[in-house]
Amino acid sequence: MTTLSARLSDSDETHGSHGAASPLIGFIGPGGDTQPLSAHAFGSKAAQLWRMNALGLNVPPAFVLSTALCGKAHAEKRIGALLEQGIAYLERVTARGFGDRRRPLLVSVRSGAEKSMPGMLETVLDVGMTAATTRGLMRLYGNPRLAADCRRRFIEGYCEVVAGLPRGPFEDVLRAVQTAEDVTSDRELDPEALDRLAGLYLNLARDRFGTAIPEEPMDQLRAAAEAVFRSWDAPKAQDYRRLNHLEDLSGTAVTVQAMVFGNASARSGSGVAFSRDPATGAPGLYADMLFEAQGEDVVSGRRQPVGLGRLEAMLPDVATQLADGVGALEAAYRDVQDVEFTFEDGRLFFLQTRSAKRTPRAALKIAVDLVAEGVRTEAEGLALLDGIDLSQVGTTRFTGTAEVAARGVAASPGTVSGRIAFDGEAAKRLSEGGEPVILVRPDVATDDIAGMALAAGVLTRVGGRTAHAAVVARQLGRVCVVGCAALAIDLDSRSARLGPAEVREGDWVSLDGDEGTVFVGRRESVVDRPEADLATVAGWTARAR
């Protein structure tokens, strides 16, 4: 294992306990930066990691490469040396070695712009997994399944994010292995099956696509960091910045953080929590999580999460620590927080916090409540409502009665009727006729943002309220119902079943994003206005004049 001093001796671009961050690299954790990291220079994610660490929350150590390196040709020569410096820091504070055969260090490589862009930029997890470190991780944890699972997860992530390979062929291989093992989920695969799956992935990448996965950890890290920087210019990221008027942002940072393993055991998992309901603004902790899972399993929306009650029943101490930590973050930021967390063998880690994206209706209630609680002044309450057209804020509800065709999870409030579109192209075609469109998908990846922007509502078969797509739907003000198990889509015939009913692309359906219900056909809606909250804000405005 290379020592920190040896790794740092060749450059003055670093720091540690000396104080302010250098222009190009920052450190979070023991012996790291003593002054806050700038969101402009190091991205909001790293800036908030630094603050969470300063607040005393349990944060895995990390280093971050500056936004100044994003998209700059002259910076490419410096990235390798900066990564060496950062890895040396992580090796020292974790007492593990990157590529070590006995105590391997694995890292996540994540994006982070100055303004949050949920799910629009890329992440690569489990970087550092090789044949040798797979054996080392197995010995270190005494858990063959954890090691095999991390290996196949890394190969999946590298192929999709770094190599840019299509996900479909790899999903086909996964389904074939599940069928051969007579299981329905990757969570049921044993270590031997996961090892075989990893080998099939490697063969597929090499034989069909000509892609070789590096066995040298530093090569993996360099490629992952460059892929995250490249993701700044991906179409979905450009669409998001355009839709949210963020064209002036300079680029993304790259945060490299020591991995913690939500897939380590039955007492491990990952999740996302909100300090208040981001759809309605109602007070109280809300969380989605998955046991024996890594964070991308939750935010991708590809798996159905469980709620806070399950964590309280299984690991009450972790649930209490989570509630306390999220409460402390809301108190520190004086705003509703969206918090990502992982627990490994019953030990809780905080991985991210940011001000929660919220619906206009939720924004109004949150602003009124924060002022009433004495957390914010009236002027600050008005600032929280900047850019929101209060004349359009209201709660829509269907009139009359109708038979419910299917039920899901209410993810973004309101009611809407529209024509079914099964993809972004169909959404564009149908919306050109001037009628509202409902985007209906098995799951919604953030790649679908263009289709979501055209749609009036979103319906998915799997996913939870905290998935990135649900977060974006709320921000865009789209009605959203997720986790609708009674939805079965047949893309070949461009049709779907909603419980007992069969519908085709272009047919009308209606969504209730407050109740999580789905109806076949069109329904009429009325709007209820939150008059009391609007009157409160009108009073603030009058007193501010």
Contact 299, 324 (CB under 8 A): no
* Lookup result for tokens 């009108």: 538
| Residue burial 279-297, b: 16+ Cβ < 10 Å; e: rest | bbbeeebbbbbbbbbbbbb
The C-alpha angle 269, 275, 278, rounded to 5 degrees, equals: 100
Q: Tell which residue, 185, 391, 201, has the closest CA to residue 303.
A: 185
Q: Which helix (H) or strand (E) holds 502?
A: strand 501-504
Write the DSSP string, 44-102. HHHHHHHHHHHTT-----EEEE-GGGTT-GGGHHHHHHHHHHHHHHHHHHHT-BTT-SS
Cβ partners under 8 Å of residue 148, min gap 6? 134, 138, 191, 192, 194, 195, 198
Tell me the three state secondary structure of residue 310.
helix
Tell me the three state secondary structure of residue 365.
helix
Class in CATH terms, 395-528 = alpha beta
CATH of domain 269-355: 3.30.470.20
Tell me the three state secondary structure of residue 276.
strand
Whole-angstrom distance, CA of residue 316 vs CA of residue 305: 18
pLDDT at 46: 98
pLDDT at 443: 86
Q: E-strand spans in 222-355?
A: 252-258, 269-276, 283-291, 306-307, 337-344, 347-355
pLDDT at 10: 38
pLDDT at 303: 81
Whole-angstrom distance, CA of residue 313 vs CA of residue 278: 24
Topology of the domain covering 1-111+248-258? Dna Ligase; domain 1 (3.30.1490)
Q: Which helix (H) or strand (E) holds 124?
A: strand 123-127
pLDDT at 355: 95
Class of residue 178 by CB neighbours under 10 A (exposed 0-12, middle 13-18, buried 19+)? middle
pLDDT at 1: 38
Whole-angstrom distance, CA of residue 215 vs CA of residue 225: 16
Going residue by residue through the chain, which has 545 residues, state the pLDDT in tens, using 9 for 90 and above: 333 333 333 333 444 444 555 689 999 999 999 999 999 999 999 999 999 999 999 999 999 999 999 987 666 778 999 999 999 999 999 999 999 999 999 999 999 999 988 888 999 999 999 999 999 999 999 999 999 999 999 999 999 999 999 999 999 999 999 999 999 989 899 999 999 999 999 999 999 999 999 999 999 999 999 999 999 999 999 988 998 899 889 899 999 999 999 999 999 999 999 999 998 999 999 999 999 999 888 877 678 889 999 999 999 999 999 999 999 999 999 999 999 999 999 999 999 999 999 999 999 999 999 999 999 999 999 999 999 999 989 989 999 999 999 999 999 999 999 999 999 999 999 999 899 999 999 987 777 788 888 999 999 998 888 887 788 888 888 999 999 999 999 999 999 999 999 999 999 999 999 999 999 999 999 999 999 999 999 999 999 98
Write the DSSP string, 183-207. -SSGGG--HHHHHHHHHHHHHHHHH
Whole-angstrom distance, CA of residue 305 vs CA of residue 318: 17
Whole-angstrom distance, CA of residue 76 vs CA of residue 230: 12
Contact 46, 253 (CB under 8 A): yes
pLDDT at 3: 33
Sorted by where each begins, the domain ranges of the chain are: 1-111+248-258, 269-355, 360-392+529-544, 395-528
Q: pTM here?
A: 0.87
Contact 331, 341 (CB under 8 A): no
Whole-angstrom distance, CA of residue 363 vs CA of residue 150: 39
pLDDT at 450: 84
Q: Tell which residue, 325, 290, 272, 323, has the closest CA to residue 471.
A: 272
Main-chain dihedrals φ then ψ at residue 370, nearest 5 degrees: -65, -35
Whole-angstrom distance, CA of residue 269 vs CA of residue 482: 21
